[in-house]
A = this chain, B = another copy of it.
Amino acid sequence: MILNANEVIGFVAALLTTIAFLPQVYKTWKTKDVSSLSLPMLSMFFIGVILWLIYGTLKQSPAIIFANGTTVISTLLLLYFKLKYQK
């Protein structure tokens, strides 16, 4: 795994789009309010993120693997909250 300048930008990007889900997971967990979260969005996003993981592995891109490996967990949690708390 070579970490050149490009990969540093990729990692910062990955870090931001990954960390971004944490306040959402926390907010949803805390408030149990899922009214404005879209179920089709979460479902498609979840499947997409799994495909990104495969793509990142094929492309040997550490940033893509790291980002999507973490996001898959956040998205799974949001999907669970949405199904559990929606009226």
Contact = CB atoms under 8 A, between A and B. Distances in A.
Do most interface residues of chain A lie in helix, strand or loop, or is the interface mixed?
Answer: helix
A10 interface: yes
Given A33-B36, A36-B27, A36-B36, A51 B20 contact: no
Contacts of A40: 20, 23
Interface residues of A, number: 44
Copies of this chain in the oligomer: 2
Given A36-B28, A36-B34, A41-B23, A10 B59 contact: yes
23 contacts: A6-B55, A6-B58, A6-B59, A10-B51, A10-B52, A12-B51, A13-B49, A14-B48, A16-B45, A16-B48, A17-B44, A17-B48, A17-B49, A19-B44, A20-B45, A23-B40, A27-B41, A28-B38, A33-B36, A35-B35, A36-B36, A36-B37, A64-B64
